[in-house]
């Protein structure tokens, strides 16, 4: 009896081991099926193609360019999807300063790893990976060591339009392209069960709103206002509602009132309708502003309760920056707090992405083809507020 039982146990373990080997072989086969479609030039630079802004007036063209070689700590990502952020529009229009052209923008990037450097441990070929708003930092200052690379004291290297001091001072180029080479430290691992066509905007709009919600420690029952109900704002609403907050949305049109309600907002305020603004003073615990144009900061501060907090996320053009009347700030809005927040560090971005996928929190997106004219039309719609809520470029359609 003992021998018979022993034989059965050994057989079971052998079958388990065989199945595990088969599973591993299937995984390896799947990874081996991922072919690196990109070539390199004589200097090892990766040949790339992208949709670039060629002038300040939202004129796009498809261009060919190269990226720095894949270093030992780098990964090469085949870009599948790239989100369109309002920051892209500000950048190519020179709203925040001069840009150099041609410029490939885009810092909401989702794709698949097709090559890894010899020292890479975080990724393997076949993994899904994303890139957000930054691609490098010093890694040594107090902010970098505190997982806040976006505030690097020696200068964060942002995904596009930055002088990359780590790669011969070339200008960084973004995600409206077929590939990107990035240090594994600045890439985000995308869960295999994620909705890939919706992931890219999470890497900017997602973490930009997730981070201040964590800072303010918003919880069930808190009353939160979200000012600006666009690409960022609709993510803030979803995160806050998931936490049980009572959300009031502020926007300038009636077009999104139903959308706000469908996402769980308890109130919608059209700031161009005077009756909507009545009896709002001292009613909210927190406000998140995503507004990308000039607006009345003091009005929003007055809606906060005493000791309430307002986070500023949106950056308007330089000539439309809002200002604060200091007398009103002191005499009418005293004891209210206001702070700025820029995206999130790599650690927090990974946390946000895992949380979003686990809780089925995604942006509402409209997929467009990777064609210059399609991007130009999308930009005009973003400027006119006609998108609900994020355009995503299908980079697989790039010719």
Domain match, 233 and 293 both: yes
Q: Domain span at residue 225?
A: 206-340
DSSP assignment of 129-183 equals: EEE-SEEE--S-SHHHHTT-GGG-TT--EESSSSEETTTTTEEP--SSBSEEEEE
Q: Which of 18-22, 206-210, 212-216 has the lowest mean pLDDT?
A: 18-22
Domain match, 248 and 369 both: no
Domain match, 292 and 381 both: no
SS3 content of the chain, % helix, strand, coil (to 5): 35, 25, 40
Domain match, 82 and 139 both: yes
Instruction: Give domain status of residue 35, yes or no.
Output: no
Domain match, 90 and 137 both: yes
pLDDT of residue 396: 98
Domain match, 108 and 181 both: yes
Residue 153, phi then psi, degrees to nearest 5: -70, -20
Domain match, 180 and 307 both: no
**pLDDT tier, 24 (very low <50, low <70, confident <90, very high otherwise):** very low
pLDDT of residue 214: 97
pLDDT average, residue stretch 270-287: 96
**pLDDT tier, 32 (very low <50, low <70, confident <90, very high otherwise):** low
pLDDT of residue 361: 98
- 125-170 pLDDT per residue, tens: 999 999 999 999 999 999 999 999 999 999 999 999 999 999 999 9
Domain match, 198 and 210 both: no
In the chain, % of residues over pLDDT 90: 86
Domain match, 73 and 176 both: yes
Six-digit token string for 43: 């200097």
| 93, pLDDT greater than 70 | yes
Instruction: Give domain status of residue 2, yes or no.
Output: no
Six-digit token string for 378: 């999308």
Instruction: Give domain status of residue 350, yes or no.
Output: no
365-368 contacts at long range (C-beta below 8 A, 24 or more positions apart): 365/83, 365/197, 365/198, 365/201, 365/389, 365/390, 365/391, 365/392, 366/390, 366/391, 366/392, 367/197, 367/391, 367/392, 367/393, 367/394, 368/392, 368/393, 368/394
Domain match, 316 and 213 both: yes
Domain match, 172 and 87 both: yes
pLDDT of residue 57: 84
Domain match, 301 and 248 both: yes
pLDDT of residue 285: 98
- pTM summary value: 0.90
Instruction: Give domain status of residue 176, yes or no.
Output: yes
**pLDDT tier, 340 (very low <50, low <70, confident <90, very high otherwise):** very high
| 61, pLDDT greater than 90 | yes
Mean predicted lDDT score pLDDT of the chain = 92
Instruction: Give domain status of residue 256, yes or no.
Output: yes
pLDDT of residue 248: 98
pLDDT of residue 98: 85
What does R_g of the chain's alpha carbons equal in angstroms? 24
pLDDT of residue 231: 95
Six-digit token string for 109: 């990037």
Instruction: Give domain status of residue 9, yes or no.
Output: no
Instruction: Give domain status of residue 8, yes or no.
Output: no
Q: Which of 54-63, 213-222, 238-247 has the lowest mean pLDDT?
A: 54-63
Q: How far apart are the first and last CA of the chain?
A: 69
Specify the number of domains making up the chain.
2
Instruction: Give domain status of residue 113, yes or no.
Output: yes
CATH (domain of 286)? 3.40.50.720
**pLDDT tier, 385 (very low <50, low <70, confident <90, very high otherwise):** confident
| 35, pLDDT greater than 90 | yes
CATH (domain of 128)? 3.90.180.10
Six-digit token string for 219: 């919880």
CB 315 within 8 A of CB 90: yes
| 25, pLDDT greater than 50 | no
**pLDDT tier, 23 (very low <50, low <70, confident <90, very high otherwise):** very low
pLDDT of residue 373: 97
pLDDT average, residue stretch 355-364: 98
């Amino acid at each position: 009896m003992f021998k018979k039982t022993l034989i059965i146990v050994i057989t079971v373990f052998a079958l388990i081991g065989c199945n595990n080997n088969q599973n591993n072989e299937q995984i390896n086969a799947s990874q081996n099926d991922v072919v690196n479609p990109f070539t390199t030039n004589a200097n090892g630079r990766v040949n790339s193609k992208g949709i670039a802004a060629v002038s300040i007036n939202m004129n796009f063209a498809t261009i060919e360019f190269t990226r720095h070689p894949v270093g030992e700590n780098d990964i090469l990502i085949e870009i599948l999807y790239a989100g369109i952020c309002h920051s892209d529009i500000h950048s190519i229009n020179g709203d925040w300063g001069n840009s150099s052209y041609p410029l490939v923008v885009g810092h909401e990037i989702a794709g698949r790893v097709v090559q890894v450097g010899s020292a890479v441990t975080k990724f393997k070929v076949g993994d899904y990976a994303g890139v957000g708003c930054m691609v490098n930092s010093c890694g040594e200052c107090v902010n970098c060591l505190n997982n806040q690379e976006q505030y690097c004291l020696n200068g964060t290297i942002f995904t596009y339009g930055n002088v990359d001091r780590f790669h011969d001072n070339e200008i960084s180029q973004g995600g409206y392209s077929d590939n990107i080479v990035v240090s594994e430290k600045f890439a985000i691992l995308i869960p295999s069960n994620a909705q890939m066509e919706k992931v890219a905007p999470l890497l900017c709009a997602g973490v930009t709103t997730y981070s201040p919600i964590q800072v303010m420690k918003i919880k069930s029952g808190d009353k939160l206002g979200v000012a600006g109900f666009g690409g960022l704002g609709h993510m803030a609403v979803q995160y806050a509602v998931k936490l049980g907050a009572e959300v009031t949305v502020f926007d300038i049109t009636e077009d999104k009132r139903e959308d706000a309600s469908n996402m769980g907002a308890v109130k919608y305020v059209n700031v161009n309708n005077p009756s909507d603004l009545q009896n709002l003073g001292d009613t909210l615990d927190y406000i998140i502003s995503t507004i990308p144009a000039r607006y009345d900061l003091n009005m929003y501060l007055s809606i906060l309760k005493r000791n309430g907090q307002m986070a500023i996320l949106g950056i308007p053009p330089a000539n439309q920056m809002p200002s604060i009347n200091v007398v009103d700030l002191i005499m009418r809005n005293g004891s209210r707090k206001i702070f700025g927040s820029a995206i999130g560090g790599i650690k927090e971005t990974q946390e946000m992405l895992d949380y979003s996928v686990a809780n089925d929190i995604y942006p509402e997106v409209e997929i467009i083809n990777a064609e210059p004219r399609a991007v130009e039309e999308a930009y005009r719609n973003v400027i006119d507020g006609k998108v609900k809520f994020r355009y995503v470029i299908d980079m697989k359609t790039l010719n």
